[in-house]
Amino acid sequence: MHVEVVENVLKLNDDVARRNRAVLHEAGVFTIDLLGGPGCGKTTLVERTLAALRAELRIAVIVGDLATARDAQRIARHCPHVVQVNTGKGCHLEAHQVRQAMERIDLHQTDLLIIENVGNLVCPVGFDLGQDVKVGMFSTTEGADKPAKYPYMVHESDVVLLNKTDLLPYVPFDVNQFDTDVRRLRPDATVLRCSAYLNKLDSWLDWLRARAAAPAEISAPYTKANPR
């Protein structure tokens, strides 16, 4: 009975996510779900991305956190279209929460929707939100072993970002090990390095510009049954 309940919850989430995706595509919105552990730099990346691209793209942001609106307040300095979702004890965003947040955004005036998920390397992975792309973010201060220890996040991430590269001279981080593990887990992932804090984001911004400008190339989310 327990298994049946869990399966029903996931099926319900997937149904809502499919509807979210259809609504977003109908409005021409390109959507990313940004995943990563607490403190890896997700909010800083969103802030810098907004500052760099807001003149060329209409961007909205949905931010998930257990408590507080601190991230939304930071992001609101760069973008008026931000919705904070407090998940309480929930360790990830679910599709119905994103649907409710989407109702507060004018999607027809939006080119790019960034969803900053709750800081967690495990729980957000299995929940489709209706995004086009999941972006998995790691940072050099977390250690190079994290992709191998949290393989499902890498497996589900179309893009893998390594942040805080400016700290590489000061932390023990084996870049080769990181790259090797990521390639083994998700050979077709786009792997990018950045320092959000120092605004070294060229490859990330180029990738985002290209994808957001080409909604016709929006493709189905990666699944084990539908490998790309």
Binding site for Mg ion (CB under 5 A): 42-43, 71
Shortest separation between residue 50's beta carbon and Mg ion, angstroms: 13
3-state secondary structure of 38: coil
Helices (H), the chain: 2-26, 42-53, 70-76, 95-102, 146-149, 151-156, 175-185, 202-212
Q: Which is nearer to Mg ion, 42 or 164 (CB)?
A: 42
- Residue 16 or 201: the one with the smaller Cβ distance to Mg ion is 201
CB of 114 to Mg ion, least distance (A): 11
Beta carbon of residue 138, minimum distance to Mg ion (angstroms, whole number)? 15
Between 21 and 92, whose beta carbon lies closer to Mg ion?
92
Q: How far apart are CA 138 and CA 148, in angstroms?
A: 12
CB closer to Mg ion out of 71 and 156: 71
Select 50 or 185, whichever has its Cβ closest to Mg ion: 50
- Name the 3-class secondary structure at 133: strand
Rounded distance, CA 204 to CA 49, Å? Answer: 9
Buried b (16+ CB within 10 A) or exposed e, 184-206: ebbeebbbbbbbbeeeebeebbe
Q: Least Å distance between CB 183 and Mg ion?
A: 27
Smallest gap from Cβ 94 to Mg ion, in A, equals: 18
Q: Which residue is nearest to Mg ion (CB)?
A: 43
Query: In whole angstroms, how close is the CB of 23 to Mg ion at the nearest point?
Result: 25
Query: How far apart are the C-alpha atoms of 119 and 44, rounded to whole Å?
Result: 13
**Smaller CB distance to Mg ion: residue 21 or 163?**
163
